[in-house]
Structure 1
Amino acid sequence: MLGKLLYTLHLLGAVLWVGGMGFALLALRPALAAIEPPQRLLVHQGALKRFFLIVWHAMPILLLTGYVLLFGWYGGFAGSGWHIHAMHLAAIIMAAVFVGIVTGPWKEFRAAMARGDQPGAAAAMDRVRQLVTANLVLGLLTVAVAAWGRFPG
């Protein structure tokens, strides 16, 4: 029963994180092209503030449940398949990229917005977009690896 709960939390964390990045890049960003840049920056600010707060909670849950499953279910790295090793590596990289986003360009974006520097905010938002795009690609590859590695043969 506990294993099912941990696995469910693990999957929900992945869905929120990867799905949120997909939504932000593939639906929200193109839709914002219809509004003027100052309003676009305000919408980005509000939406990403909420999304990053979700990720701050989902990411540790995802990592912790992953480790509990790794050591409790598989018996550690030695007892796990290649897909678990790949997911672990991807999770560490994705977490580092996320922390880099929040402490780098996202922080710069918020500071630029606070001082009314729209060009600076736009430049910082573009760096956020680039890093979120990299994390989305890595996240989608991780989902594919998880699905592929789950079934032998």
Structure 2
Amino acid sequence: MHNAEFYGLTAQTLQGKPVSMEAFAGKTLLIVNTASKCGLAPQLEGLENLYQKYKDKGLVILGFPCNQFGNQEPGSEKSITEGCLINYGVTFPMFSKVDVNGANTHPVFRFLKNRLTGWFGSRIKWNFTKFLVDKEGNPVRRFAPITSPDKLDHYLARLLV
């Protein structure tokens, strides 16, 4: 069933353009809080590999830079864009820097955390927490930061049939 609450949310791209989650209706989404200076940043390459493998089957990966963990995303939107593209070849949509915890939590992450809690409640513990959202806009799985993108392959293969 189409999730009107999720599809009513919006986010701003790195270029400053507002995008409604409705634009991704009918797509399977993998939503990730990223940080280019994080030790887990090489996961960007793995995420890009998944995107290239499954984008024609309906997968869209949405990256949301976040500087709430160890000051690992201190740069501007321009430096984030350049770092993701040059260092990791990222072509999937990247959004403006957001908070994923606290009073200023971005609405997309507030929604996801309320629907899928982690080991220690809803709070996101680190960069590269991943949320899998089905093509109806329903969160179906949350993955820990240390879960590498290649470990998500079989979940995606099942959802993208």
TM superposition score category, shorter chain reference: under 0.3
What TM-score does the superposition give when structure 1 sets the normalisation length? 0.26
Larger Rg: 1
What TM-score does the superposition give when structure 2 sets the normalisation length? 0.25
Specify which structure has the higher proportion of strand: 2
